[in-house]
Amino acid sequence: MASSTRRPQARPDVRTRGAQGTTTRPRSRPASDPTPRPRAFIGPAVIIAVLAVLIVLAVPGLAPRGGASATDAAVAVVATGDPVTPAPVTTTGPDPVTPTPTPVQIVSSHPSPPPAAQRRLDRAFAAMVTTVGAPGLVAAVRLPDGSVWYGADGVMWPGGPKVTPDTPFAWGSITKTFVATLALRLAAEGRISLDQTIDAWFPDYPQADRITVRMLLSHTSGIFDYFQHATYGARVFEEPLHAWTVDEILAMTGPRAYAPGKGFNYSNTNYVLLGVILERVTGTPLVDQIHEGLLEPLELHETVFQQAGRENGIVGAKGFWKSGSSFTEWSDGTDFRPTTSTASVAWAAGAMEGSVRDLLDWEIALYQGDVLPPDALAQMLSFDRKSGYGLGARTQTLVDRRGFGHGGSVRGFVSVMYRLPAEDIDVVVLANVGFANLDRVATRLARAALAVTATPEPTLPPDPVDLPLDPLESAAP
């Protein structure tokens, strides 16, 4: 989990790569990092830890059972005060050995809302907990005065720790907002053109000389969505530990929906292709572009882009589906959420995982212009009248107010982040259960926020047709 030091009140402007002059805390390095680690001084904390292990080995009744090591047992007791005993659930993979996150005290960088607003938002959130029925539900609302309300209810998994505003959840297609941001940055720097065709990077791809970068960003390329491939369910969900490569992903092809630029179909393949373009233009892995160019400068330390072959460095909530009165767990015994296979096959289309606190801060930084130049942000938020989609963003109506943002869903998780620009209200909701209708939660919270701010009725044109549920969740095994 994250350090207990929170990011500063003022958000840095990170519209240029590297965010020079911005001080950030270093992330945990991946296992593949070859950089030699400095020798550490063996201080009192290490000695205490060794003594704890020796006590566990020596005292009857404290020795670990079920294959756990003495170190595991000692760490579990030190971190939580009690040995960890998760409740049994139905799983889809091998027996999980789940590390328990170490509780930390996080100091918010935002002021708390006035007591009346806090109470109203608390009531609105509590009313939706039973309706959603997730093991864990978290939300955040930013009010026009800059104050932020957080809500959290439930657990990371049955019998596990309680969720908090700093508990990571899988975000699914909200990942696309990060990929789109990187692409728009490159365009603003003149390194790519949104209207150039993709045959420069994919000379053998069907109709690559007619498909532009802009079409990939706006889902107007007509390319088949690989999540709809006939073998997708069996290959992804029946082999949860498989680490997918980009070549394997792009090999799942199907019929074109229409000629390039002649329609709209939400296709995750578009963003996988964008991820490859970003890597080829910069010479840098996509995971590093997201971490070094966006997450670290904004100090989003409870968030990761889940990359096969890299350590996540965080322990997030597990994903579930409702099975009658119980839950079916989507887990493979690793830190990847939902599983190694599901995260790696989503890649640039939906591999990110993070906390509701980080996601709210990302939404604020993105839509208030801290990460993109004004012209680039305007292009992202230029929405097609029929589809309601822009370039990595879409329109959304909350309480008859016209807003925008993005949603995401991946096996066992649902997420939404929305902004009402005229009212200056931001709403983020995350749940670790599949098919949860979080738009209802966001609407209920937005209504409560509007009530406490006494926002007047808007005078906006009719809203375009809402988009369907994200295909990341709808793909069935």
* Segment 432-451 mean pLDDT: 97
| CA dist., res. 240 & res. 343, Å (int) | 10
**pLDDT of res. 225:** 98
Task: Give the dihedral sign, CA 316/321/323/328.
Answer: negative
> Does position 37 have pLDDT exceeding 70, yes or no?
no
> Does position 71 have pLDDT exceeding 80, yes or no?
no
Fold of 115-474: Beta-lactamase (3.40.710)
* Segment 47-66 mean pLDDT: 38
Domain boundaries, the chain: 44-85, 115-474
* Highest-scoring range by mean pLDDT, 12-26, 29-43, 253-267, 317-331: 253-267
β-bridge pairing 425-431 and 136-142: antiparallel
- H or E stretch covering 322: strand 319-323
Which token pair is 450? 């509007």
pLDDT band at 22 (very low <50, low <70, confident <90, very high): very low
Burial 417-442, CB ≥16 within 10 A → b, else e = bbbbeebebbbbbbbbbbebebbebb
**pLDDT of res. 100:** 56
- Range with the poorest average pLDDT among 11-20, 351-360, 379-388, 435-444: 11-20
> Does position 29 have pLDDT exceeding 80, yes or no?
no
Task: Give the dihedral sign, CA 179/181/185/187.
Answer: positive
**pLDDT of res. 14:** 60
pLDDT band at 98 (very low <50, low <70, confident <90, very high): low
Residue 365 in contact with residue 142, Cβ under 8 Å?
no
Burial bucket for residue 163 (CB in 10 Å: 0-12, 13-18, 19+): buried
Residue 221 in contact with residue 267, Cβ under 8 Å?
yes
**pLDDT of res. 12:** 54
> Does position 53 have pLDDT exceeding 70, yes or no?
no
> Does position 328 have pLDDT exceeding 50, yes or no?
yes
| CA dist., res. 342 & res. 434, Å (int) | 14
* Segment 6-17 mean pLDDT: 48
Whole-model pTM above 0.75? yes
**pLDDT of res. 66:** 33
Nearest to 325 by CA among 129, 157, 153, 89: 89
**pLDDT of res. 420:** 98
Which token pair is 256? 């074109």
> Does position 375 have pLDDT exceeding 90, yes or no?
yes
**pLDDT of res. 74:** 27
